[in-house]
Amino acid sequence: MSQISAGAPKEKLASRTAAMIVMGISTLYFLVPIWWLFIGSTKSREQFSSTAGLWFADFNLFTNIADLFAYNDGVYLRWMLNSIVYASFGALLGTLFAAMCGYALAKYRFPGRELIFNTVLGGVLVPATALALPLFLIFSQFNATNTFWSVFLPSIVSPFGVYLARIFAAASVPDELLEAARLDGAGEVRTFFSVSRRLMTPALVTIFLFQFVAIWNNFFLPLIMLRDQTLFPVTLGLYTWNSQVNQIPEIRTFVIIGAFLSIIPLIIAFLSLQRFWRGGLGAGSVK
C-alpha cells in the first residue's frame, strides 16, 4: 500500500519531466531559427559570415534597420505596408464572408445546402498554389494583372473559414435565440450582426488569424501576378532580393534584417488575439 502511494508522485514527476523535456526541445526547435535571424540582424556584413551564427558580435541592429529603410528609396517599408494592407483587410473581409456563409449554411434550410457545403469543403483540399496560374490567366482577360486587386480579391476567399464558421455557428448559436430575435422584430441581417456575430466571436478570431497568416505568407500568387515593386508584399520583395545575393552581396544584410522585421507583425497579431483564439478552439472542441 505504502509502496504504491510512494510510487505515484514519483511517476507523476517522471512523466511531467518527460513532457517538459519534449516541450522544451520543440520550443528550442522552433525558436532557434528566429534566434539565429535576430542575431544575424544585429551583425554588420563583415561579421555576418565570419562570426558564430548563434551569438552576438558588434551590435549593429539599429544601423542595419536604418540602412534597410533607406535602401532603394525605402521600398522595404512600402512592402511591409502592402503586406499589412493585404493581410488585415483581406482577413477582415474574408472572415466576414466566411462567417456569413458558414452561418447561413448552419442556420437556414434550403435545397442544395449540403451540395454547396461539400463544394466549399472540396475547396479546402485545393492548394492555393495550384490556383495561381489559372487566376493569372483569368485576370489577364480583364487586364487586371499587376494591380492591387489581383492579389487582394483572391485573398478574401477562405473555404476553411466557411467550414469553421458553419461548425461553430451550429454549435454555439441556439435556434431559440434566433427565434426570440425574430419575434422581437429584428431582420435576418440585424440578427446576424448583433446576435450571432457576438456568439461566434471566438471562431471569427480564429478564422481571422488563419486568414491573416495565410495572406501574409502568400508568395506564389503575388510572384505570378505582380511586376510593379510598389505593389509587392514583403515576402515577394525579400525573395526578389534574396535571388540577387550571389551577385550583389551587399543585399544579404537587408534580406536578413528584413526577414526578421517581417515576422514582428505576425507575432503582434498572435499575442494580441491569442486570448480569444484559445477560447475559440476550446469551445469548439467541447461542443
Partner 1 sequence: MHIKNSKRIVALGVLAALSLTGCAAGGSSGGSGGDAAACAPSDGKVDLTFTSWIPGIDKVVDIWNKENPDIQVTVQTGPNGNGGTYKNFFNQLSAGNAPDLGQIEYDALPNFRVQDGLTNIASCKNVTESKDDFIDWTWNQVTFGEDDAVYAIPQDTGPMAMYYRKDLFEKAGIPVPTTWDEYAAAAKTIRSQGGYITNFPQNDVNWFAGLVWQADGRWFSNDGDKWDVTLTSPESEKVADYWQGLISNDLVSKVPAWTDEWNNAYNTGSDWTWISAVWGANSISSGAPDTSGNWAVAPMPQWKAGDTKAGNWGGSSTAVLKGSKHPYEAAQFALWLNTSDEALTALNKEANLYPATKAGLKLPVLSEGVDFYGGQKIYDTFATAANETNPDFVWGPTMTQTYGDVADGFGEVLGGTGTLTDALKTGQQKTIDALDAAAIPVNK
- Interface ranges with partner 1 (CB under 8 A): 45-46, 49-50, 53, 72, 133, 136-137, 140, 143, 145-146, 223-224, 226-229, 236, 239-252
**Which helix (DSSP H) or strand (DSSP E) does residue 212 occupy?**
helix 201-217
- DSSP code per residue over 99-158: HHHHHHHHH---TTHHHHHHHHHHHHHS-HHHHHHHHHHHHHHTT-TTSHHHHHHHHT--
Smallest separation, CB 129 to partner 1 (Å): 13
Residue whose CB is less far from partner 1, 23 or 137 = 137
Residue whose CB is less far from partner 1, 50 or 272 = 50
Smallest separation, CB 81 to partner 1 (Å): 17
Residue whose CB is less far from partner 1, 201 or 229 = 229
Residue whose CB is less far from partner 1, 213 or 245 = 245
Residue whose CB is less far from partner 1, 53 or 187 = 53
Cα angle value 242/72/264 (rounded, 5°): 60
Residue 276: helix, strand or coil by DSSP? helix
**Which helix (DSSP H) or strand (DSSP E) does residue 174 occupy?**
none
Smallest separation, CB 82 to partner 1 (Å): 14
CB 120 within 8 A of CB 159: yes
Smallest separation, CB 142 to partner 1 (Å): 11
Contact partners, residue 117, CB within 8 Å, separation at least 6: 105, 162, 166
Residue whose CB is less far from partner 1, 88 or 240 = 240
Residues 63-72: contacts with CB within 8 Å, 24+ apart? 64/253, 64/257, 65/257, 65/261, 67/253, 67/254, 68/253, 68/254, 68/257, 68/258, 68/261, 71/254
Whose cell is 510510487? That residue is 7
Smallest separation, CB 133 to partner 1 (Å): 7
Smallest separation, CB 214 to partner 1 (Å): 20
